[in-house]
């Protein structure tokens, strides 16, 4: 009578388990490093797009209401304040206060407004940047240079076209010499 020998399933050795754990730790390390560099990029992209949208909205409000709008960007406070520069013709002139913002928008303290170039001027650092939007649709030409606190090499430039009021966000810094003044009629740059 032969003994019924069943083969038992073979288990893993300690060396095999340690090898799997080392590989798993490396994969998790790479994933965490990847996510750590991706989060600032996404936050910077979102804040730059929000800033561009806010500037477009200010221009649209000026055109629709027929009133000049002043936008003050305050890098030290991480905010933009919106003011009417002229009184509403239908409103009581005694109630008009050009020093009271009608809207304030803040951006993340992790996104730094490095510099602002207005036209072809030198960079403005650590001071209030004033932009104007007129009822005609014209506005102050500006390039806003942003970077994330945690990633200095990731930069965004928000540009506004003074003729059309269109805003665009670019990755990196945009050279002042390549600043575009394009019109819908010509379709080109000058």
* pLDDT tens digits, one per residue of 135-189: 998 998 888 888 888 887 888 989 888 888 888 888 876 655 444 443 333 343 3
What CA–CA distance (Å, rounded) separates 74 from 53?
A: 17
pTM for this prediction: 0.67
Q: Are 139 and 157 in contact (CB under 8 A)?
A: no
For the segment 2-33, what is each residue's pLDDT rounded down to a tens digit? 566 777 677 778 888 898 899 988 888 777 66
Domains of the chain with bracketed CATH: 14-178 (3.55.40.10)
Three-point CA angle 173, 82, 119, nearest 5°: 35
Backbone conformation region of residue 66, classed left if phi is above 0, alpha if psi is from -120 to 50, else beta: left
Phi, psi at residue 39, to the nearest 5°? -60, -50
> Residue 99 has what pLDDT?
76
> Residue 50 has what pLDDT?
93
Residues in the chain: 190
The first and second tokens of residue 68, run together, are 């000049």
65/6: higher pLDDT: 65
**Nearest in space to 162 (alpha carbons), one of 184, 180, 140:** 140
């Amino acid at each position: 009578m032969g003994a019924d020998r069943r083969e038992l399933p073979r288990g893993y050795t300690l060396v095999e388990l340690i090898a799997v754990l080392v590989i798993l730790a490396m994969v998790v390390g790479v994933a965490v490093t990847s996510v750590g560099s991706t989060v600032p990029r996404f936050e910077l992209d979102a804040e730059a797009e929000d800033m561009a949208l806010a500037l477009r909205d200010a221009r649209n409000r000026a055109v629709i209401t027929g009133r000049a709008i002043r936008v003050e960007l305050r890098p030290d406070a991480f905010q933009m304040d919106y003011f009417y520069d002229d009184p509403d013709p239908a409103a009581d002139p005694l109630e008009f206060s050009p020093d009271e913002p009608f809207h304030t928008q803040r951006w993340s303290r992790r996104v730094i407004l490095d510099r602002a170039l207005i036209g072809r001027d030198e960079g403005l650092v650590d001071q209030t940047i004033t932009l104007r939007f007129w009822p005609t649709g014209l506005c102050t030409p500006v390039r806003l240079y942003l970077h994330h606190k945690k990633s200095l090499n990731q930069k965004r430039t928000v540009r506004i076209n003074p003729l059309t009021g269109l805003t665009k966000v670019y990755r990196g810094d945009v050279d002042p010499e390549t600043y575009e003044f394009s019109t819908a009629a010509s379709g080109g740059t000058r």
